[in-house]
A and B are shown apart, each in its own frame.
Chain A
Amino acid sequence: QVQLVQSGAEVKKPGASVKVSCKASGYTFTDYYMHWVRQAPGQGLEWMGRINPNSGGTNYAQTFQGRVTMSRDTSISTAYMELSSLRSDDTAVYYCAREETTGDYSDWGQGALVTVSS
């Protein structure tokens, strides 16, 4: 069965960067886009962007342009999301989600809490 296992919680200072990983198993990693969605405490879901694991091509939400970098390592079926110049309002749970051919997210990682605090 499909599994997406994310790295653990992180605490970062303002201005720092964080890199969250998402290890995929149970399917061919390069066949499906991987998306990143975040959720601030008590707030809704916010789409950050996606990566094509086959080509490495990316699409980012305008909100994060210049601060986010999505990458992958196909040898270990792992996707990464790096967010730089962290601010307190970047405190959130960051999810990876696999995009099915039908355009939905039937598989999600467990989420990684990133706390930005001085």
Chain B
Amino acid sequence: DIQMTQSPSSLSASVGDRVTITCQASQDINNYLNWYQQKPGKAPKLLIYDASNLETGVPLRFSGSGSGTDFTFTISGLQPEDIATYYCQQHDNLPYTFGQGTKLEIK
């Protein structure tokens, strides 16, 4: 199975800050990397697919980059409504494994 190592596990930032989360795959995943946002009691929501493609309707302050095994998720200008847990997921090989999650809090 492909292991996805996400960091940090938690993060505290101020409104307006630039926030970065990283995700490392245990092998090359050909950019087949998605990012999800999950708020308490809700299903995850797709934000970024295939490493850098913004899902329709998702604000432009969210972005993704990276290739091969190393990927980055960025929020440019943190907003209060961005408080959530964020997960990366690879879909290059079954099983489609997730990172451990990053819990984002407001300072």
Partner-B contacts on A (CB < 8 A): 35, 44-47, 49-50, 59, 61-62, 95, 97, 99-100, 102-106, 108-111
Contacts and interface: CB of A to CB of B under 8 A. Distances in A.
A68 B36 CA distance: 25
B46 A44 contact: no
A99 B32 CA distance: 13
B98 A108 contact: no
A105 B98 contact: no
Interface in B75-107: 87, 89, 91, 94-101
Contact of B34 (A50, A61, A62, A104): A104
Contact of A103 (B1, B43, B49, B95): B49
B17 interface: no
B60 to A, nearest CB: 18
Given A47-B96, A102-B50, A110-B43, 11 more contacts: A45-B98, A62-B1, A97-B43, A100-B49, A103-B32, A103-B34, A104-B91, A106-B49, A106-B55, A108-B44, A108-B45
Contacts of B89: 45, 104
Contacts of B32: 103
A69 to B, nearest CB: 17
Contacts, number: 58
Which residue of B55, B87, B96 has the most chain A CB atoms within 10 A of its CB atom? B96
B46 A59 contact: no
A73 B30 CA distance: 34
Nearest to B38: A45
Nearest to A60: B95
28 contacts: A44-B87, A44-B99, A44-B100, A45-B38, A45-B87, A45-B98, A45-B101, A46-B98, A47-B97, A49-B95, A50-B94, A61-B95, A62-B1, A95-B44, A97-B43, A99-B91, A103-B32, A103-B34, A104-B34, A104-B49, A104-B55, A105-B36, A105-B44, A106-B46, A106-B49, A106-B55, A108-B43, A111-B43
B53 to A, nearest CB: 8
